[in-house]
Amino acid sequence: MDLNLLRRMAKDRVRLDLVTKNVGIFRTELGGEIEFNMAGVKECINQPFNPYRDKILLLIDGLEEALGSAAYVGFTSQQNHPRPHVVGYHFFETQIGGKTAYFNIQLTVQNRYFLYSITESIRWETLE
């Protein structure tokens, strides 16, 4: 299947099933729910990852389960591109296509948690 079609399917699936229905994934480590928005979905899709296709397929089917079972890694307040509405990021480790991947969860000043990205590595050397 064409990657552009898969990207559209992933955006549509997350928008319809998670964003518009206000679905959240509760994590005890956060004491709250991880929410979804389209800015985060686009960031997830745009981040490079190998195998990229497997990451897109996870967004289409299995995202909620993967977020619910991912291992908590830690928190950092460091930001490469500071945003005034962001306090920092929590990281959760999972496997995608047999490779280690990280869910980057954005903590906002409103004390809300949003899936921000899925990456191959954590960018900050030290987690707080």
Q: Does 18 map to a domain?
A: yes
Instruction: Tell me which residue range forms the domain holding 51.
Output: 3-119
pLDDT digits 0-9 by tens, 44-76: 999 999 999 999 999 999 999 999 999 999 999
Q: Structure tokens of 115?
A: 């899936």
Q: Does 86 map to a domain?
A: yes
Beta bridge partners of 121: none
Q: Does 125 map to a domain?
A: no
Q: Does 34 map to a domain?
A: yes
Nearest alpha carbon to residue 45 among 9, 72, 21, 17: 9
Residue 123 above 80 pLDDT?
A: no
pLDDT at 127: 52
Residue 125 above 70 pLDDT?
A: no
pLDDT at 122: 87
Q: Does 128 map to a domain?
A: no
Total tally of structural domains belonging to the chain: 1
Beta bridge partners of 117: 104
Q: Does 124 map to a domain?
A: no
Judge contact between 24 and 37, C-beta under 8 A: no
